[in-house]
């Protein structure tokens, strides 16, 4: 099964590793079957710091996702609805297991020149 690399802001990566954020939010979702997400921690870190196994992906309206899961999203209400502004569907990727790498990796380690805007398939 394939993996993807996604860019996540440092404040959210911290919450994922702490276990307080158990859903990664997206406006668009990948088309292929994925079981592992490789975490690229965006600026200023700019390193690949770990990965997580996907439990499941929930799609619903932004309102319903927020109502059901807001305690586990790792984002405040104002920023959540700003992120999903002009969007009818929100995707919440439920994190099953998190692995923090002992040694951070670079994009070059994955033969990538730049970080993905949304996601990048890794073979």
Instruction: Summarize pLDDT for 96-118 with one digit per residue, the tens.
Output: 999 999 999 999 999 999 998 88
Tens-place pLDDT, residues 68-102: 999 999 999 999 999 999 999 999 999 999 999 99
Tens-place pLDDT, residues 25-40: 999 999 999 999 999 9
pLDDT band at 123 (very low <50, low <70, confident <90, very high): confident
Q: Which domains does the chain show, CATH number per domain?
A: 2-122 (2.30.130.30)
Long-range contacts of 69-77 (CB under 8 A, 24+ apart): 69/23, 72/20, 72/21, 72/22, 72/23, 73/21, 73/23, 73/25, 74/12, 74/15, 74/16, 74/20, 74/21, 74/23, 75/12, 75/21, 75/25
100 Cβ contact list (under 8 Å, min separation 6): 17, 49, 50
């Amino acid at each position: 099964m394939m993996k993807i690399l996604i860019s996540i802001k440092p404040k959210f990566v911290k919450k994922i590793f702490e276990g307080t954020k158990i859903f990664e939010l997206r406006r668009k979702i990948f088309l292929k079957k994925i079981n592992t997400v490789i975490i690229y921690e965006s600026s200023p870190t700019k390193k690949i710091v770990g990965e997580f196994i996907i439990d499941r992906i929930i799609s619903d309206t932004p309102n319903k996702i927020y109502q059901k899961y807001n305690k586990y999203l790792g984002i405040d209400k104002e920023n959540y609805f700003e992120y999903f502004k002009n969007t009818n569907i929100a995707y919440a990727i439920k994190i099953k297991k998190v692995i923090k790498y002992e040694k951070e990796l670079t994009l070059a380690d994955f033969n990538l020149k730049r970080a993905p805007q949304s996601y990048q398939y890794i073979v």
